[in-house]
Chains A and B, each alone.
Chain A
């Protein structure tokens, strides 16, 4: 069923169908408005459509270049994040076991050295050993996020290259 608005819009857009004609014929309000709408339609239809200059599209694309690059970078990070999270999780899961093993190892070495060397010297050697282990562990785990992110970036670049 065609309402007043639909019928008048049909006249304005020059898309009059049978339903719109029926409506106008039976609706006193629309019958009264129709001449005005017709006059409006003539004037609005005569309004020429301005032509966009041919340089406009290339200008828009050039201006949008940096924004597109930022979008691409953001998408790469969003895509890389799961890989980084997985790598971190895989690295962190065995960490408690490694720490327990290292502490046990340091204690065992301290006991062994304490049996054959003076107390001060054995303590010095064990502390050095423990410090070295802690340093190696820090370096190893500190590198995990960077290596994972780099790997994910390489995978993404590879994916883009192969479509």
Chain B
């Protein structure tokens, strides 16, 4: 089917099969990233909007860039916008998330840990620790220098460390 970059190029000229293949490849990583970033709220809407933005911007995609960092950048921007919105009414836990848990306490714990972080630190932690992006890739996604990624990671680790120790 070709590389991710070739596929998004084909999406730029209206190829639906190429989009379907990209969705298949990135469904889980993107969905997981958004779910962890927002604590499981509005995940499907944000996921769909990520793809719609990607399709809209596909004709302008720079083939010298990596698709993975590009699409995560779109997701990060959407999640940031989502966090800037006024806080919603308290909601029931996401059934879908709950149903996949073998260890509910651990799940809540991890979600509480992530929720304890400021948005910028949470984003960098998710990209680096959950999705295995390198520091360069995380810096590209976030549009910041590599040193900022390092310092945010360090701050996130310190904060989480205090949280874990106090728990």
A residues whose Cβ falls under 8 Å from a Cβ of B: 5, 8-9, 12-13, 33, 36-37, 39-40, 43-44, 46-53, 56-57, 59-61, 63-65, 67-75
In whole Å, how far is B61's beta carbon from the nearest beta carbon of chain A?
A: 11
Contact of A9 with B128 in the complex, beta carbons under 8 Å: yes
Contact of A39 with B110 in the complex, beta carbons under 8 Å: no
B residues whose Cβ falls under 8 Å from a Cβ of A: 11-16, 19-20, 23-24, 27-28, 31-32, 35-36, 40, 43-44, 47-48, 51-52, 55-56, 58-59, 94, 96-97, 100-103, 106-107, 109-111, 113, 128-130, 132, 135, 150, 153-154, 157, 160-161, 164-165
A-B contact count (CB 8 A): 127
How far is it, in angstroms, between the C-alpha of A39 and the C-alpha of B110 when the chains are bound?
11
Measured between beta carbons, the chain B residues less than 8 angstroms from A36 are: 157, 160-161, 164-165
In whole Å, how far is A130's beta carbon from the nearest beta carbon of chain B?
A: 48
Choice from B11, B94, B107, B130 contacting A68 with Cβ under 8 Å:
B11
Contact of B32 with A50 in the complex, beta carbons under 8 Å: yes
- Given A50-B43, A61-B23, check contact A43 B110 (CB 8 Å): yes
How far is it, in angstroms, between the C-alpha of A39 and the C-alpha of B157 when the chains are bound?
11
Measured between beta carbons, the chain B residues less than 8 angstroms from A59 are: 44, 48
Choice from A52, A67, A69, A74 contacting B28 with Cβ under 8 Å:
A52
Contact of B129 with A13 in the complex, beta carbons under 8 Å: yes
Measured between beta carbons, the chain B residues less than 8 angstroms from A53 are: 44, 96
- Given A9-B129, A51-B96, A74-B59, check contact A46 B23 (CB 8 Å): no
How far is it, in angstroms, between the C-alpha of A60 and the C-alpha of B53 when the chains are bound?
11
Main secondary structure of the interface of B (DSSP, over half): helix
In whole Å, how far is A156's beta carbon from the nearest beta carbon of chain B?
A: 10
Contact of B23 with A40 in the complex, beta carbons under 8 Å: no
In whole Å, how far is A81's beta carbon from the nearest beta carbon of chain B?
A: 14
Q: Which residue of A lies closest to B32 (CB)?
A: A49
Measured between beta carbons, the chain B residues less than 8 angstroms from A50 are: 31-32, 35, 40, 43, 94, 96-97, 100
- Given A37-B157, A71-B12, A71-B58, check contact A47 B19 (CB 8 Å): no
How far is it, in angstroms, between the C-alpha of A39 and the C-alpha of B55 when the chains are bound?
40
Jot down 5 A-B pairs with beta carbons below 8 A, ordered by A.
Answer: A46-B103, A50-B40, A61-B19, A63-B51, A70-B14
7 A-B pairs with least C-beta separation:
A72-B14, A46-B106, A47-B110, A36-B161, A75-B13, A52-B31, A71-B14
Measured between beta carbons, the chain A residues less than 8 angstroms from B23 are: 57, 60-61
Contact of B56 with A60 in the complex, beta carbons under 8 Å: no
Contact of B52 with A46 in the complex, beta carbons under 8 Å: no
- Given A64-B19, A64-B51, A71-B11, check contact A5 B150 (CB 8 Å): yes
